[in-house]
Amino acid sequence: MKFNPQWLQAYLVGGTQDVGHDPTQFLKKVELAMAAGITAFQYREKGTSRLNATKRFAIARQLRTLTHQYKIPLFIDDDEELALRVDADGVHVGQRDQRIEQVIDRAGGRLMIGYSCNTSQQIAKANRLPAIDYIGTGPVFPTTSKADADPALGLNQLCQLNHLSVHPVVAIGGITKDNLVATLQTGVAGVAVISMILKSDDLRTTVKKMRAAYNHRN
Ligand code: TZP
Ligand code: MG
């Protein structure tokens, strides 16, 4: 499958740590979000109390079934082996994860590749790596979903980094219904969120609003 930047419009990221460590609840919420119209999903199981490899594999397989059913791409955070084992569409690589060159060597051509960049130097490097499909940039705003998050960039810096990048940029970190439109107006290809969807009281309406905000961003 060829990468489609439209997938970045309403990109849900998450793992069981984002829903009280409950796998059943996690899969239920993710399926509701898919039914409501998210455009991509990334399985990101993080933290000291994250599920073990066997459980991660079992969940990733179920996510593969669901993403096929709802016809959206599945990315796996920071684990190209798991991505290859479950036949995911792609892998997302952070600056503190495995070296990007190594991931490209092992998985380039077989998996689509997303790469986190939040400085102009990192973007300049990513621009020279054609195997990359998209860039994740953030946190744009303060977030409680990522323990080791860098300081928030703010919208001006997001806008500048987006302009520097030859790859499509998805904004991430602290995006809420209140800053969603302003974030999209920087010209990014879309937004990636954890809590806005997974901690929403009305997940379906939240996803619908994300899709509507993208369609009316100008
Ligand atoms: N990378 C940068 S910020 C972040 C990740 C994974 C967390 C985003 O979570 P939220 O709840 O949408 O702020
Ligand atoms: Mg990572």
pLDDT tens for 125-183 read 999 998 999 999 999 999 999 999 999 999 999 999 999 999 999 999 999 999 999 99
- Average pLDDT on 191-205 reads 98
Largest CA distance in the chain: 45
Confidence of residue 186 (pLDDT cuts 50, 70, 90): very high
Residue for token digits 């990522």? 146
**Minimal-distance CA residue to ligand 1 atom 8:** 173
What crossing angle do the helices spanning 23-36 and 203-215 adopt, rounded to 10°?
40
pLDDT tens for 67-105 read 999 999 999 999 999 999 999 999 999 999 889 999 999
Q: Which CATH class name applies to 5-215?
A: alpha beta
Confidence of residue 216 (pLDDT cuts 50, 70, 90): confident
Looking at residue 150, what is its pLDDT? 95
In angstroms, the Cα distances linking 67 to 40, 41, 152, 186, 212 are: 8, 8, 31, 29, 21
Pocket lined around ligand 1, Cβ cut-off 6 Å: 13, 138-139, 143, 145-146, 149, 172-175, 193-196
Atom of ligand 1 nearest to the CA of 199: 11
All structural domains of the chain with their residue ranges? 5-215
Query: CB count, 10 Å around CB of 202?
Result: 10
ipTM at complex level: 0.96
Q: Which of helix, strand or coil describes residue 41?
A: strand
pLDDT tens for 12-39 read 999 999 999 999 999 999 999 999 999 9
Q: DSSP states of 70-127 as a string?
A: TT--EEEET-HHHHHHTT-SEEEE-TTSS-HHHHHHHHBTTBEEEEE--SHHHHHHHH
Cβ within 8 Å of residue 35, ≥6 positions away = 70, 204
Annotated binding-site ranges: 42-46, 77-78, 97, 116, 143-146, 174, 194-195
**Runs of H (alpha helix) within 165-200:** 180-184, 195-198
Residue for token digits 């059913």? 69
Cβ within 8 Å of residue 4, ≥6 positions away = none
For residue 96, the CA-to-ligand 1 centroid distance in Å is: 15
For residue 68, the CA-to-ligand 2 centroid distance in Å is: 23
- Average pLDDT on 196-206 reads 98
For residue 110, the CA-to-ligand 1 centroid distance in Å is: 26
For residue 157, the CA-to-ligand 1 centroid distance in Å is: 17
Atom of ligand 1 nearest to the CA of 175: 12
